[in-house]
């Protein structure tokens, strides 16, 4: 009698070798490299988003400076709809990066 741990020698009733469920070709193991590549591309996308929003904020600050002759204060930034939107998007992207 063979040990049940020796799964390479176990055969079912008709003599076909038994394949454990975790080695079944129907359920292949997940490919870790693909998951890591997707994760890396998502992280790179978040860094690009942050960079783009920072460029937009810089441009909005320069426009404000040209119109008003001074740099925008924190209150000016919060009152500007476009600047507030960019700042919120940056904070969301940073939060998502920290969670990964």
pTM, entire model: 0.60
Q: C-alpha distances in angstroms, 17 versus 9, 11, 14?
A: 7, 4, 9
Q: HEC string of the chain?
A: CCCCCCCCCCECCCCCECCCHHHCCCCCCCCHHHHHHHHHHHHHHHHHHHHHHHHHHHHHHHHHHHHHCCCCCHHHHHHCHHHHHHHHHHHHHHHHHHHC
pLDDT 10s digits, 12-55: 555 665 555 555 555 555 666 677 777 788 889 999 999 999 99
Residue 100's pLDDT band (cuts 50, 70, 90): confident
């Amino acid at each position: 009698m063979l040990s049940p741990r020796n799964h390479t020698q176990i055969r079912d009733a008709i003599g076909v070798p038994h394949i454990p469920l975790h080695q079944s070709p129907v359920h292949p193991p997940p490919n870790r490299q693909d998951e890591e590549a997707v994760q890396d591309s998502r992280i790179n996308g978040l860094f690009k988003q942050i960079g783009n929003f920072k460029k937009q904020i810089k441009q909005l600050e320069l426009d404000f400076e040209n119109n008003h002759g001074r740099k925008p204060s924190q209150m000016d930034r919060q009152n500007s709809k476009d600047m507030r939107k960019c700042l919120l998007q940056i904070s969301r992207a940073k939060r998502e990066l920290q969670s990964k």
